[in-house]
Amino acid sequence: MLGKLDWSAIPFDQPIPLVAGAVVLVAILAVLIWVVVKGHLPYLWHEWITSVDHKRIGVMYILLASVMLLRGGSDAIMMRLQQAVAYQSQGYLPPEHYNQIFSAHGTIMIFFTAMPFVIGLMNLIVPLQLGVRDVAFPTLNSVGFWLTATGALLVNISLVVGEFARTGWLAFPPLSELSYSPGVGVDYYAWSLQISGVGTLVAGINLVTTVLKLRTKGMNYLRMPMFCWTTLASNLLIVAAFPILTATLAMLLLDRYLGFHFFTNEAGGNVMMFMNLIWAWGHPEVYILVLPAFGIFSEVVSTFSGKALFGYRSMVLATMAICVISFMVWLHHFFTMGAGPDVNAIFGIASMIIAIPTGVKIYNWLFTMYGGRIRFATPMLWAVGFMVTFIIGGLTGVLVAVPPADFMLHNSMFLVAHFHNVIIGGVLFGAFAGFEYWFPKAFGFRLDERWGKAAFWFTFLGFYVTFIPLYVAGMLGMTRRMQHYDVAAWRPWMFVAAAGMAVLSIGVICQIVQLVVSIRNREALRDRTGDPWDGRSLEWATSSPPPVFNFAFHPDVRGEDAYWDMKAAAQQQSLDHAAPEYHDIEMPRNSPTGFICAFFATIMGFALIWHIWWMVILGGIGAFATFVVFAWRDHDEYVIPAAEVAAIDRINLEERRSLVSMAGAL
Amino acid sequence: MSMTATAGRAHADPHHIGLVVEHPGPASKRIVTAYGFWVFLLSDIVMFSCFFAAYAVLSGQTAGGPSGSEIFEQRNVAIETVCLLLSSFTCGMASIAADVRNRFWFYLGMTVTCVLGLIFLTIEFREFADLVARGYGPSRSAFLTSFFSLVGCHGLHVSAGVLWLLTMMAQVFAKGFRADVLRRMMCFALFWHALDIVWVGVFSVVYLLGSAV
């Protein structure tokens, strides 16, 4: 009846996951009860859960990412503590639990923190920067988000029902095959990634189509803000790379469920094929994450330097070059696995070549700052901190791209330090910069600068104290993923890293405090003009938060830095053109399709993991029915009358005029 | 305003390489939908290419089991191919009928497409069932694993296509040739033709090359 599921799935003998699970459960229940008692449920349902507004969906993506950042972060703290105490002892985490923790940490941080964070920011900002009213496929957008949430939910269910994979975040066979991982851990891993992978693919298709087909009048390709370009590149990579992940995991699942022989040791299966396939997705994946961050830094550096981006066209070229070359370097993840010197040399050189466009970008940012009137607001601090940190991470990357060096450093703590160096220093700093920079746009008030700066400095310093020791430990021969060790020389470095983790945690706490303080002081921090940073691109040309239709008129773009040009023109002409003629606006209607789809996907995923076949069929039928019902609807749009548009737009225009006249007076 | 226009233009084209053609604005719904679906099809083809790659890697790994030339039946594959190619034609006829809003030819085209698709699926299913009955199931060898997966993946796509086809007919029956129904019909036709292209790959790589060995 319930497949493999019985009471032994609940880890009663392991206090840590049980207590953690109980705390999370209580927290979720408390929030739910609070929502119901306070009567917020209808509001949540109508304004958020069923919303197809790209801004709302973007915010929900970022919320999901933030929650999962805390989950992945707790895993990190546990690992640092374990390695600090596990010198010639078992520490406090048994091996099978420790293995689950590092696997979950990697999976969560990449798929459910970094991905939702950058996809959320792209969703929130790109249509605004392009001067349009929505993304190409609003309902699919909602489906994509909710499927991502389903994946995250399944990973977290594994904490208390059953177990998570013990295979590392990429589940290499033959370890991940049924003979060596007979439990449900790998199934949790694979199904949550399959489901959220579909969500990511949907988001990718949506954003590619949005950038290529939905741009306002005059928004030629070479006038798009840098963030739109990096969004395009990143989502092209999603469309080209995520199907590879889907296919690879499907093969692994077929091996595990139906006795196929893709990656087994018997009957001619080929383990190296998994390596090649998974890294043909895995390497582009790191650029999927970091390219949007590059876009954010481009926007931030140019805004806070008060200058147009230096070398815009070279930046576009560098972005697209990275987009293409990122598909030609995957083999550097397994130089040691017998490809031979010729192949290794080619991939080593390709990996070094990809550092060139990245270098171009760094110089462009530096030259943008050069001679600018720089304001060191919080987003700018993250950007400068990124430049320093990312250069170090990039250089150690070039080091491990040299095959002979890689033979020494492969799978060592040096590698761990390297990829944290680029992912934290690149992606996470970028996500935080974007969060601080666009928060006022999303919510209509700025974030507290003092707490923001404190958060930056603690995170920045904490990062170095945590990860530089890992480089050293790697040089001293420490391999990754060690549950305990007997080498005395590594121990002090593990202590320092644990201390660094504490500093990093203070940074995270500062960020939470910043949010609380800012919400409390929101009246004082209110952004009335919609342009709190003296911005340059079109998202600042509408109010904060933007009306549901974003723009009363499709803006007419005449060059790069569209909004900057508009402001300059307005100052000369005092903006008092005749009252514009407003028109009715058609907007997509809210739809519960995404939520219901995810509901059935959750049921199906859980049933597949536990081999509850009747429930799988039920979930499948439910999902198909949802699609048919969705396809059957007659009215998918509603009309906002011109008078209402006019009323909303006039308020914003008044604020903006007073701003311009003030600037003129100065 | 004319001042900004010149200033903007100068900024966009600092070296005066050529006249900047102004982007006309957001595309129509029809174009956006079809374009997005094209992008999806490309991603689907990337997924197929992984299974093709797996087949190429594993096709020699028979582990003492049968090789392709021992199990492939040219006649069945030829019938399957003819069915699919014909169904692409009838699907095209149905699309034209939808464009000129002719219900009779639309239903006829779709019905024939559906029947041809079902014949294809039946032959494929019988081929699979026969192989499994002879002990040559997908867990027999890595070659059979990759064969079943690649051909089966295409078969699953065709099955989904048949479900979608029936939904489209029901939609036209209930809603008529509404703009959104026509957009979906266009996507369906793209999907069906794409499956045909993938089949040409399967036919060549699996059955033609495999029989020669």
Number of Cβ within a 10 Å radius of residue A247: 23
* Spatial distance between the Cα atoms of A232 and A227, rounded to a whole number of angstroms: 9
Question: Chains A, B: CB contacts under 8 A, how many?
Answer: 173
Q: Confirm if A571 and A581 have CB atoms less than 8 A apart.
A: no
Report, as an integer, the average pLDDT of A44-49.
Answer: 88
Cα A632 to the center of its chain, rounded Å: 34
Q: How confident is the model at residue B7 (pLDDT cuts 50, 70, 90)?
A: very low
The full DSSP string for A477-493 is TPBSS-S-B--GGGHHH
Token couple for A585: 């606006």
Q: For A223, which of B12, B57, B143 is closest by C-beta distance?
A: B12
Q: Which amino acid would we find at residue A306?
A: G
Q: Does the beta-carbon distance from A251 to B54 stay under 8 Å?
A: yes
Distance from CA of B4 to the nearest CA of A (A): 6
Q: Which amino acid would we find at residue A593?
A: T
Average model confidence (pLDDT) across chain A: 89
Residues of chain B found within 8 Å of residue A248, distances taken between Cβ atoms: 50
Query: Is B167 in the A-facing interface, judged by CB distances under 8 Å?
Result: yes
Q: Does the beta-carbon distance from B50 to A262 stay under 8 Å?
A: no
Number of Cβ within a 10 Å radius of residue A460: 21
Whether the link from the prior residue into A545 is cis, omega within 30° of 0, is yes
Number of Cβ within a 10 Å radius of residue A664: 12
Residue A92 scores a pLDDT above 50? yes
Query: Is A218 in the B-facing interface, judged by CB distances under 8 Å?
Result: yes
Query: Is A628 in the B-facing interface, judged by CB distances under 8 Å?
Result: yes
* Spatial distance between the Cα atoms of A451 and A456, rounded to a whole number of angstroms: 9
Q: Comparing C-alpha atoms, which of A156, A158, A197 is closest to residue A67?
A: A156
* Spatial distance between the Cα atoms of A292 and A386, rounded to a whole number of angstroms: 14
- The ipTM assigned to this model is 0.89
Residues of chain A found within 8 Å of residue B180, distances taken between Cβ atoms: 636
Query: Is A243 in the B-facing interface, judged by CB distances under 8 Å?
Result: yes
List residues bridging with A638 in a β-sheet: A587
Token couple for A115: 């991905």
Q: How confident is the model at residue A149 (pLDDT cuts 50, 70, 90)?
A: very high
Report, as an integer, the average pLDDT of B169-173.
Answer: 90
* Spatial distance between the Cα atoms of B138 and A578, rounded to a whole number of angstroms: 73
Query: Is A271 in the B-facing interface, judged by CB distances under 8 Å?
Result: no
Q: HEC profile for B149-210?
A: HHHHHHHHHHHHHHHHHHHHHHHHHHHCCCHHHHHHHHHHHHHHHHHHHHHHHHHHHHHHHH
Residues of chain B found within 8 Å of residue A220, distances taken between Cβ atoms: 12, 20-23
Between CA A79 and CA A123, with CA A112 as vertex, the angle to 5 degrees is: 145
Q: For B43, which of A136, A239, A560 is closest by C-beta distance?
A: A239
Q: Does the beta-carbon distance from A632 to B171 stay under 8 Å?
A: yes
Give the pLDDT of residue A144: 93
Token couple for B124: 């494929």
pLDDT tens digits, one per residue of A566-581: 877 766 554 555 567 7
Q: Comparing C-alpha atoms, which of A148, A211, A188, A159 is closest to residue A24?
A: A159
* Backbone φ, ψ for residue A637 (5° rounding): -135, 155
* Backbone φ, ψ for residue A639 (5° rounding): -110, 130
pLDDT tens digits, one per residue of A318-337: 999 999 999 999 999 998 88
Residues of chain B found within 8 Å of residue A216, distances taken between Cβ atoms: 23, 25-26
Q: For B25, which of A217, A261, A267 is closest by C-beta distance?
A: A217
Q: Comparing C-alpha atoms, which of A168, A76, A90 is closest to residue A484?
A: A90
Query: Is B3 in the A-facing interface, judged by CB distances under 8 Å?
Result: yes
Q: Confirm if A331 and A410 have CB atoms less than 8 A apart.
A: no
Report, as an integer, the average pLDDT of B45-71.
Answer: 90
Q: How confident is the model at residue A22 (pLDDT cuts 50, 70, 90)?
A: confident
Q: Which of residues 27-56 of B touch A (CB under 8 A)?
A: 27, 31-32, 35-36, 39-40, 42-44, 46-47, 50-51, 53-54
Query: Is B160 in the A-facing interface, judged by CB distances under 8 Å?
Result: no
* Spatial distance between the Cα atoms of A290 and A286, rounded to a whole number of angstroms: 6
Residue B181 scores a pLDDT above 70? yes
Residue A329 CB contacts under 8 Å (≥ 6 apart), including other chains: A283, A347, A350, A351, A354
Q: Confirm if A163 and A215 have CB atoms less than 8 A apart.
A: no
Outline where DSSP puts E strands in chain B: none
First to last CA, chain A: 76
**For chain A, what is the largest distance between any 2 Cα atoms, rounded to a whole number of angstroms?**
81
CB burial readout A572-591, b (16+ within 10 A) else e? eeebeeeeeebeebebbebb
pLDDT tens digits, one per residue of A405-445: 888 899 999 999 999 999 999 999 999 999 999 999 999 99
Q: Which of residues 518-577 of A touch B (CB under 8 A)?
A: 554, 557-561, 565-566, 568-569, 572-573
Between residues A76 and B17, the one the model is more confident about: A76
Q: What is the three-class DSSP state of A451?
A: helix
pLDDT tens digits, one per residue of A608-637: 999 999 999 999 889 888 888 887 877 778
Token couple for A364: 């462009």
Number of Cβ within a 10 Å radius of residue A256: 21
Residue B66 scores a pLDDT above 70? yes
Cα A130 to the center of its chain, rounded Å: 21
Average model confidence (pLDDT) across chain B: 87
Between CA A73 and CA A436, with CA A126 as vertex, the angle to 5 degrees is: 45
Sign of the Cα torsion B15, B16, B18, B21 reads positive
- Which of B2, B41, B46 to mutate to probe the A interface, most A CBs <10 Å? B46
Token couple for A176: 């991940």
Q: Does the beta-carbon distance from B47 to A259 stay under 8 Å?
A: no
Four-point Cα dihedral B158, B162, B167, B168, nearest 10? 80
Helices (H) and strands (E) in chain B, counts: 8, 0
Between residues A479 and A6, the one the model is more confident about: A479
Four-point Cα dihedral A378, A379, A385, A388, nearest 10? -150
Q: For A258, which of B1, B138, B184 is closest by C-beta distance?
A: B138
Q: For B167, which of A243, A273, A628 is closest by C-beta distance?
A: A628
Give the pLDDT of residue A573: 57
* Spatial distance between the Cα atoms of B128 and A263, rounded to a whole number of angstroms: 22
Q: Which amino acid would we find at residue B67?
A: S
A90 to A84, A395, B146: CA distances (angstroms) = 11, 35, 43
Report, as an integer, the average pLDDT of B133-148.
Answer: 91
Query: Is A246 in the B-facing interface, judged by CB distances under 8 Å?
Result: yes
Q: Confirm if B48 and B198 have CB atoms less than 8 A apart.
A: yes
Query: Is A621 in the B-facing interface, judged by CB distances under 8 Å?
Result: no
Q: Does the beta-carbon distance from A260 to B149 stay under 8 Å?
A: yes
Give the pLDDT of residue B26: 87
Cα-atom radius of gyration of chain A, to the nearest Å?
25
Q: Does the beta-carbon distance from A558 to B8 stay under 8 Å?
A: yes
- Which of A261, A264, A571 to mutate to probe the B interface, most B CBs <10 Å? A261
Q: Does the beta-carbon distance from A559 to B8 stay under 8 Å?
A: yes
Q: Which residue on chain A is closest to B34 by alpha carbon?
A: A209
Q: Which DSSP category does A354 fall into?
A: T
